[in-house]
A = this chain, B = another copy of it.
Amino acid sequence: MKLNFITSNEGKFREAREIASSYGIEVAWLKMKYDEFQGDTLEEIAVKSAKALSKAIGEPFFIEDSGLFVEALNGFPGVYSSYVLKTIGNPGILKLMDGVENRKAYFEAVIAFYDGSEIHTFVGRVEGEIAEEMRGEKGFGYDPIFLYGDRTFAEMGEAKNAVSHRRRALENFLRWLSENFLS
């Protein structure tokens, strides 16, 4: 079975390909940017974007979107995590969290899969806390300020990929695919 993954991000494609191979599923890279919608949740955005894409693509594909949700900031930066990273970045989040006691946060990834007629979504989450300062050299994005246990994602390196929100969303998706299409 071959799955089209629409993304402009090579790192995401490689990660998905590796995880899918253990399910006997091949992932093909449809390298393209597409118009994303605004919305209140990652799921709403992914479904709208997948619907628009399905009209242009025709055959089955999946897309993925993710974000960091900080409880004390009402979910900010959330669905617009990439934009926030480009503007105020990790220093901005740390400044907003200065003196804030509740540091709970989670990463969420959502996959929207178009099966040729309908769209199905799969969610993955990893719970953690916002660190007091940036730590670690690995990873990207918010990894240096996301504490998982006593290490940040940027300190964990490869070990992060075993527990990440994206891994969890992909596993949920692939497990469902195996049960519904490969049995």
**A-side interface residues toward B, CB under 8 Å?**
35-38, 48, 73-80, 83-84, 86-88, 92, 95-96, 98
Contact = CB atoms under 8 A, between A and B. Distances in A.
Given A37-B35, A38-B37, A48-B35, A83 B79 contact: yes
A76 B48 contact: no
A36 B80 CA distance: 14
Copies of this chain, whole number: 2
Nearest to A48: B35
Contacts of A73: 87-88, 92
Contacts of A38: 35-38, 80, 83
A74 B95 contact: no
Main secondary structure of the interface of A (DSSP, over half): helix
A91 to B, nearest CB: 9
A95 B96 CA distance: 6
A76 B80 contact: no
B92 A76 contact: yes
Nearest to A92: B96
A49 to B, nearest CB: 9
